[in-house]
Structure formats: C-alpha cells, structure tokens
C-alpha cells in the first residue's frame, strides 16, 4: 500500500507544461518518406493487415521513434505527434500510414475478444443498452479512463463539427493529489473494484474483472480506471454493491482528474500516444452535421513496448493488459 507521493517525470502539472514538451512535430522529410513507403506497399498489393515492420522503409523515423519510446516509458508518458499530412488521403492509405508508425513503435495487441488490432473510434448510432457496445462507439462524453496494452495510439482522421475536445491527465499526479487531500481514499483506491468487461472478457472468465484502481509495483504506479464500467458492473448479482466510501473515492478521483487535466483539440493527422499505466484520457461529447459526408473518425492501436516495464500480477487476467503481461513472459509471439 503506497502512502507517500511519487516524484516521477510522469507526475507533470498541466498548468506549467509547455507545448514543446509534449508536441512533437513530424518533418516534411519524415512525412514524404512515410507516404512513399506506403505507396510502394500498395503497388505490391499489400494492405495494412498484411504489412509487417520489414515492409516499411523509414530510416528518417529511427531516431524519432527511439525518442518517443523514451518519452513514453520514463518520461512525461504521453505526446502529440503533429504534422502528418492526410489531406486528400483515403482511409485505407491513412490506416496503412498509421500502422507503419505503430509497427516502428511497438507490437500491436488485440483490442477486443475477436482479436482486432485496429479500431475505429466513431459514433455507431448505438447506445449502451447493447451490452457489447463500448463508450468509444458512441458520441457520448468519455470520462477519464485508460485503454489496453502498454500504450495507445489515436489518430484523428476526421475531426468533429462540434465538441470532441481531448483531455489527458497524469494518473501519478492524480494519486499524489488524492493522497495529500484524503489519504484514506487513496488507500481505498488501492483495493479491488469490479469492472464490467462489456463482453470482452478473457476465455472462461466472468463478464467482470476485479482489480484495484491504483497498484504500486517496482517503483511504478499503475492505474486502471473506467468509472462507467465500475458502475455498469453493479448489474451483476455476484458483484457487491459499491460502499459509500468507494463512491466517495471515485467522486474525488473524477474531480481531481478534471482539475489537473490538459485539454487540447486534435487536428486531422494528429496522433496522440500515451502510456496506459501513467495516463488517463477523456473526451467531451461531439456532434456531426447530418448533411456532411464524413463524420468524426479516429483510428486506434494498442501497443506493447520493447522497453515496457514489469507488470503486477493483478493485470495478468485483465482484458486490457493481459497481452502485454504475457508478452513480457514470452508467451505471445
């Protein structure tokens, strides 16, 4: 049980964070090289699903990728990659460009029970009354949460007409603040909560998982947080009712996340990349004009890093982190 604040590079303060610390500009040369590499792949009849790292010739990206990996594990824990030119680029080509950057950075991991490696984050028109629908498939606001694997990559292919503001916060700073204000609630958040898996549970496991929000392991603080999924898990008769102090802890968690968050607008071609153990992210609700041929459309990858940290055993059976955990053990090829 962690009872003292952590002083880490990932414990940043949005009020003093400068743009140059978290925005990484892609050079024209890097952009052109990526476009040319994808063009060669397409001329060979290769789509993103059948392309591997060795298919991409991207020497101008080598140093940049190494710097990004260092930022993600041991640095601020997130960045915004800006400057990828996708104006006039069709969706399949954009996906192949995005896939190439992902392969350079790490190992793509499944994002659902069917094993899909790339997801489209957009409004499907369905709501959460469908048990298999997840929040990213709606236009509802997404409260602070993290995704799966070591890091997530999210590329803006088309921005929304209104809304869809992105937010990110250091979970380490959130924990430090909660510990300072209400140490007893910091302790509650280090004890197990039940999460609805939304039909994405591992084989032969129940449709919910039990794991703490914060886990301190080998000098790192790890977070797993989805307030809505904690509340949705209450529908299962096997899940105990949330206690008053648990609700109080979750309320403070949400309050501090909003208080410390960095807000920004993603432009077409922007890619946000963040460490899922250190960062939480959110999004405001959005609307698209019905008459517009294209709507808000993000593309997402979950990646395991070559330089990824050791993970606590509590993550071994979670739908979010089990693949990265198994990869550390050499159980994923």
| Total structural domains within the chain | 1
Tokens 């084989």 label which residue? 203
Is residue 5 a part of any domain in this protein? no
What is the reported pLDDT for 100? 98
Is residue 4 a part of any domain in this protein? no
Is residue 152 a part of any domain in this protein? yes
How confident is the model over 205-254, as pLDDT tens digits?
A: 999 999 999 999 999 999 999 999 999 999 999 999 999 999 999 999 99
- Which band of pLDDT confidence, cut at 50, 70 and 90, is reported for residue 124? low
Is residue 106 a part of any domain in this protein? yes
* Average pLDDT, integer, range 98-119: 96
pTM: 0.93
204: left (phi over 0), alpha (psi -120 to 50) or beta: left
Share of the chain above pLDDT 90, in %: 84
Give Cα separations from 275 to 31, 75, 158, 171, 328 (angstroms).
24, 10, 24, 10, 16
What is the reported pLDDT for 285? 84
DSSP code of residue 133: -
For residue 244, the SS3 value is: helix
- Which band of pLDDT confidence, cut at 50, 70 and 90, is reported for residue 177? very high
* Average pLDDT, integer, range 287-310: 82
Per-residue burial over 224-248, b if 16 or more Cβ lie within 10 Å, else e, is: bbbbbbbebbeeeeebeebeeebee
Residues with Cβ within 8 Å of residue 132, at least 6 apart in sequence: 198, 199
How far apart CA 195 and CA 198 sit, in angstroms, is 9
- Among 68-82, 94-108, 136-150, the least confident range: 136-150
Q: How many CB atoms lie within 10 A of CB 44?
A: 9
* Average pLDDT, integer, range 130-148: 76
How confident is the model over 320-331, as pLDDT tens digits?
A: 999 999 999 998
Is residue 43 a part of any domain in this protein? yes
How confident is the model over 60-70, as pLDDT tens digits?
A: 999 999 999 99
Three-state SS string across 23-89, please? EEECCHHHHHHHHHHHHHHHHCCCCHHHCCHHHCCCHHHHHHHHHHHHHHCCCCCEEEEECCCCCCC
Is residue 3 a part of any domain in this protein? no
- Which band of pLDDT confidence, cut at 50, 70 and 90, is reported for residue 16? very high
Query: CB of 91 within 8 A of CB of 294?
Result: no
Is residue 333 a part of any domain in this protein? no
* Average pLDDT, integer, range 274-299: 81
- Which band of pLDDT confidence, cut at 50, 70 and 90, is reported for residue 162? low
How far apart CA 108 and CA 246 sit, in angstroms, is 34
295: left (phi over 0), alpha (psi -120 to 50) or beta: beta
Q: Specify the CATH number for the domain of residue 190.
A: 3.60.130.10
Residues with Cβ within 8 Å of residue 8, at least 6 apart in sequence: 172, 221
How far apart CA 137 and CA 143 sit, in angstroms, is 14
**Which domain, by its residues, includes 29?**
23-328
Rounded to the nearest angstrom, the gap between the alpha carbon of residue 277 and the centroid of all alpha carbons in its chain is 9
Is residue 15 a part of any domain in this protein? no
What is the reported pLDDT for 139? 72
């Amino acid at each position: 049980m962690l009872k003292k604040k952590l002083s880490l590079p990932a414990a940043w303060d949005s009020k003093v964070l400068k743009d140059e610390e978290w925005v990484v500009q892609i050079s024209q040369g890097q952009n052109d090289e990526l476009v040319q590499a994808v063009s060669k792949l397409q001329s060979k009849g290769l789509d993103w699903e059948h392309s591997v790292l060795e298919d991409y010739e991207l020497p101008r990206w080598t140093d940049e990728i190494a710097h990004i990996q260092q930022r993600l594990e041991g640095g601020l824990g997130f960045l915004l990659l800006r400057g990828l030119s996708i104006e006039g680029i069709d969706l399949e080509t954009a996906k192949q460009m995005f896939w190439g950057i992902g392969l350079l950075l790490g190992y793509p991991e499944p994002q659902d029970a069917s094993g899909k490696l790339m997801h489209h984050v957009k409004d499907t028109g369905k709501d959460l009354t469908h048990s298999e629908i997840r929040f990213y498939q709606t236009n509802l606001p997404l409260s602070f949460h993290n995704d799966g694997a070591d890091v997530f990559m999210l590329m803006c292919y088309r921005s929304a007409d209104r809304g869809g503001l992105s937010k990110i916060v250091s979970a380490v700073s959130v924990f430090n603040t909660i510990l300072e204000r209400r140490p007893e609630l910091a302790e509650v958040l280090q004890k197990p909560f039940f999460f609805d898996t939304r039909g994405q549970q591992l084989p032969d496991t129940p449709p919910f998982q039990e794991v703490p929000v914060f886990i301190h392991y080998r000098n790192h603080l790890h977070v797993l947080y989805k307030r809505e999924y904690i509340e949705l898990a209450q529908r299962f008769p096997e899940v105990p009712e949330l206690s008053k102090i648990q609700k109080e802890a979750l309320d403070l968690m949400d309050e501090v996340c909003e208080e410390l968050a960095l807000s920004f607008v993603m432009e077409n071609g922007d890619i946000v990349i963040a460490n899922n153990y250190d960062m939480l992210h959110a999004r405001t609700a959005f609307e698209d004009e019905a008459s517009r041929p294209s709507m808000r459309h993000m593309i997402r990858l979950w990646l395991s890093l070559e330089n990824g940290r050791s993970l606590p055993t509590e993550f071994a059976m979670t739908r979010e982190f089990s693949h990265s955990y198994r990869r550390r053990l050499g159980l994923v090829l």
